[in-house]
Amino acid sequence: MNLGWRLKYFGRFLKSVFVLNVRLLAGMWRLTRIPQPAVTVFGGSRIEIDDKVAQQASLLAKKLAQYGFSIITGGGPGIMEAANFGALAYLKECEVDSVKACREMVSGAVGLVHLNQERVNPYVQTSVIMDHFFSRKWLLVRYSSAFVFFPGGFGTMDEFFEVLTLVQTNKMPAYPVILIGSEYWKPILEWITTRALAQNLIQAGDEKFFIVVDDVQLAVDAIKQYHGLKN
């Protein structure tokens, strides 16, 4: 290939890498406004806010916030909005109850520009907007120490297997990874055990990197136990 064209192409790539890293650094700095520990909640954007699953996401976030966990989502509608709403609902109740020690920040998001004309939902206190899926996902995973997955589409599946891969390859500690809704996740679980594991495409024990529950309280208890919280 022509050297001039190669240099031009490489220059454009170098510029994009520089911009990407600046955005990642700025995004991580902004996320540090959200107190640790933090839990990232994933799930479908097409789920209606009054759906039973969305109500579970809201309840989960509210319960976790009561135990001092911040909630981070992708910032969009559906499960994400429900989770941010639950976290903020707790904070509003806390502010009314003068006995409790309230935090200023509990509900955050890492969004994506021009994603199906989505906007950051109104229950996010602080947000980071990224240009690429992979950089968004990096921030969603990097700042949290527990992950909860509600029913969702391709994006949710991508995020779920990304987290499992990071744990499997020891790129991330074995943080709690929890799937909510056994009926929805059943086909995925069967594929993992009857296909991937049976054909030695994953190792024995890899299927134990996550748990599946239907009761939100069980998810909360698992996260509390990992972080050494009793009450």
Whether 111 contacts 137, CB under 8 Å: no
C-alpha dihedral (166, 171, 175, 176), degrees to nearest 10 = 10
pLDDT over 90, % of the chain: 76
pLDDT digits (tens, 9 = 90+) for 46-104: 999 999 999 999 999 999 999 999 999 999 999 999 999 999 999 888 877 665 677 88
Q: Which two tokens stand for residue 202?
A: 């994953």
Whether 139 contacts 110, CB under 8 Å: yes
Banded model confidence at residue 159, pLDDT cuts 50, 70, 90: very high
pTM, full prediction:
0.92
pLDDT digits (tens, 9 = 90+) for 92-148: 888 776 656 778 889 999 988 766 556 789 999 999 988 888 889 999 999 999 999
Residues β-bridged to residue 41: 148
Which strands sit side by side in the sheet containing 211-213, from one edge to the other? 126-130, 107-112, 70-73, 38-42, 147-149, 177-180, 211-213
Q: Which two tokens stand for residue 137?
A: 């996902």
Residue ranges with strand state E in the chain: 38-42, 70-73, 107-112, 126-130, 147-149, 177-180, 211-213
Q: What pLDDT does 132 receive? A: 85
Whether 211 contacts 177, CB under 8 Å: yes
Domains and CATH numbers, the chain: 3-226 (3.40.50.450)
Q: What pLDDT does 98 receive? A: 61
